[in-house]
Amino acid sequence: MESRHDSENAERILYNMRPKELVEVIKKAYLQGEVEFEDSDDDDDGDGKEDEDGEDHAASPRNVGHNIYILAHQLARHNKELQHMLKPGGQNGEGDEALEFYAKHTAQIEVADLLCDFRIRPNTEICILMYFPHPRHPYKTQSCSCTLEPRLSALLWVAMFVSLAIVIVLPQPHGIRALIASTILRLIFSVGLEPTLFLLGAFNVCNKVIFLMSFVGNRGTFTRGYLAMILDVEFLYHLLYLIICSLGVFVHVFFYSLLLFDLVYREETLLNVIKSVTRNGRSIVLTAVLALILVYLFSIVGYIFFKDDFILEVDRIPNKTLGKEQLAGSVLLSQLGHGCSEPLFAARVIYDLLFFFMVIIIVLNLIFGVIIDTFADLRSEKQKKEEVLKTTCFICGLERDKFDNKTVTFEEHIKVEHNMWHYLCFIVLVKVKDSTEYTGPESYVAEMIKELNLDWFPRMRAMSLVSSDAEGEQNEIRNLQEKLESTMKLVCNLSGQLTELKDQVCSGRPPLKLNIEQLRGHTCNSSENNKKRNA
């Protein structure tokens, strides 16, 4: 079936296999695998790994049924009956569990103009975290501790156990957050604030160490040399975060307050606020230098012409311990202050207005304008990125309008045909699967991944669009052929009638009546010729 777009092979396979029997085999294999899986639970050795005869063995009935399902899914593209049977509820609702299970754990991607169906492994999400660690890491800060009334303490215990039960029964992010919050509050009121801070700080340090080791291992920071480590800003940020956590645990808890700046690193909007200052830093620094020069020039003019205006009146401190020299100095200052006059009043007004206009209004507004314009540009770039993600396929780059008036909508395209999570699952599958069991597309993709080549992604093309266009052209050709055949039959019929009419005229028999309306609709003769023939 690989590397073929036509239905020839599918028809040959379906000629020897009945769709109904194929679906029945899939369901029976699933049920048989379920029974074997229940039996294998009694033989589990508890080592956290699956035995040789376990669920993930290549020859287990359920996996064989999954491979047959993938084959049936490929054949269903060319057979509507099989396509209907593979849908849950399509055959009296029997065996829907097997079809739903296989459909849920089967994904499809497009590789080099080929559609590749593959099985999503049950532990793909552990694998994804192993190869692609998430950069998030929790931090907690507390400020005070106090005692609780017995009712509130019991309520807190109940909240902690209820959240624990919710996490066990239905693990969701909100339930995990509620469990963490209730556990932290319970620790604060049970063992105190300082021990709780120490426990949280130690956990944060261990978490950051593990994350940093995973980050360095995946990025290959150590293998690239020390210069690459120093120039890697993200590595330096996480290293600084680890140092601050360690200082908070072993030096003083006030160092935890510096971790609040991690919010800027996590939130893109706040990060753009910082970038609005740093992106055009050279312009801002040069503008600030201009402001400094202007202030310096104004200070020189003020010192030369208006130095008496800046002498302030100082009251004498009523202290008997002052010496004679200090008392004389204070009296002199007070006399100078009282003796200050303002002969250059108009010049002083102009001086103040120029300083206010040039420094306060122009220079500061220049700096603020650069910052605001940069922030607006960053915000528009963010909006463009979001718009591109909403209206463009992440895999092939085709826009939403390319799927207008097509058999496949844009939503179906990004959800089924070019689902980016399916591509991620396929990459993980290629990494963890034995190379001797690779299929054709898997071998090709594995080689491209080793070479860091992305040519296996379908860029600016989709097979659904090509097939829909080809089907439209084939339908038009088919319609034209049908019209041509009907026209040829009509011409043959008219030729026979004309021959018979000619024979009747020659033999002297009365002529047969011809269908004038038929002649008018399917010939190109003029109305005058039609009248002559009718006569």
One-character DSSP codes across 421-440: HHHHHHHHHHHHS-GGG--H
Partners of 119 in beta bridges:
106
Provide the 8-state DSSP code for 451: T
Report the alpha-carbon distance of residue 211 to residue 217 in Å, rounded: 10
pTM here?
0.52
Cα R_g (the chain), whole angstroms: 42
Residue 25 located in a structural domain:
yes
232 alpha-carbon distance from chain centroid: 24
140 close to 205: Cβ distance less than 8 angstroms: no
Phi first, then psi: give them for residue 175, nearest 5 degrees.
Answer: -65, -40
Q: What letters, b where the CB count within 10 A reaches 16 and e where it falls short, cover 266-301?
A: eeeeeebeebbeebbeebbeebeebbeebeeebeee
Per residue in 71-108, is it b (16+ CB within 10 Å) or e — as a string? bbbbbbebbeebbebbeeebbeeebbebbebbeebbbb
Count of structural domains within the chain: 3
User: What stretch of H or E contains 119?
Assistant: strand 114-119
Same domain membership, residue 169 and residue 111? no
* Helix pair angle (96-104, 19-40), 10° resolution: 80
Token code pair at residue 416:
């089924």
Is residue 432 in some structural domain? no
Distance CA 478, CA 486 (A): 12
Spatial distance between the Cα atoms of 130 and 200, rounded to a whole number of angstroms: 24
Q: Are 163 and 175 in contact (CB under 8 A)?
A: yes
Find out whether 184 and 196 touch, Cβ atoms under 8 Å.
Answer: yes
- Determine, yes or no, domain membership for 353: no
Boundary-marking domain end, from 241, 262, 283: 262
Structure tokens belonging to residue 157: 């215990």
For residue 327, is it within any domain? no
Last residue of a domain, one of 213, 240, 262: 262
- My answer on whether 115 and 5 are in the same domain is yes
Query: What is the C-alpha to C-alpha distance for residues 71 and 1, in angstroms, rounded to an integer?
Result: 9
27 neighbors 95 (Cβ within 8 angstroms): yes
Q: Looking at the DSSP assignment, which residues form a beta bridge with residue 392?
A: 399
Q: Judge if 190 and 258 occupy the same domain.
A: yes
Judge whether 462 and 398 are in contact, CB under 8 Å: yes
Q: At what angle do helices 420-432 and 124-131 cross, to 10 degrees?
A: 80
> Tokens 């591109």 belong to which residue?
388
183 plus 73 within the same structural domain? no
Q: State residue 525's pLDDT score.
A: 46
Mean pLDDT of each 10-residue bin along the chain, 535 residues long: 71 79 82 63 46 54 84 80 76 71 82 75 61 46 55 82 84 83 84 85 90 80 73 85 90 88 84 84 89 92 84 68 50 45 80 90 88 87 86 88 83 87 89 88 90 87 69 68 86 86 74 49 47 47
For 196-342, where are the E strands, in sequence order?
A: none
Choose the final residue of a domain: 73, 100, 119: 119
Asked if residue 339 belongs to a domain, the reply is no
2 with 102, same domain? yes
Same domain membership, residue 193 and residue 90: no
Rounded Cα distance, 464 and 441, in Å = 19
**In a domain? residue 488:** yes
- Cβ atoms 43, 51 nearer than 8 A: yes
Q: Say if 90 falls within a structural domain.
A: yes
Q: Are residues 5 and 83 in the same domain?
A: yes
**Are 68 and 161 within one domain?**
no
Residues 115 and 155 in one domain: no
Could you tell me if 164 and 115 lie in one domain? no
Cβ atoms of 202 and 249 within 8 Å: the answer is yes
Count CA within 13 A, CB hemisphere, residue 206.
Answer: 6
Round to whole Å and give the CA distance between 120 and 425.
7
| pLDDT given for residue 58 in this prediction | 59
Q: What per-residue confidence (pLDDT) applies to 383?
A: 86
In a domain, 197, yes or no: yes
Per-residue confidence (pLDDT) for residue 300, from 0 to 100: 92
Predicted pLDDT of residue 1: 67
Residues 252, 155, single domain; the answer is yes
Instruction: Determine the pLDDT at residue 3.
Output: 64
Q: Which domain holds residue 485?
A: 467-496
The span from the CA of 467 to the CA of 113, in Å, is 11
Pairwise CA distance, residues 119 & 70, whole Å: 8
Tell me: do 179 and 101 sit in the same domain.
no
**CA neighbor of 124 nearest in space, from 465, 448, 433, 375:** 433
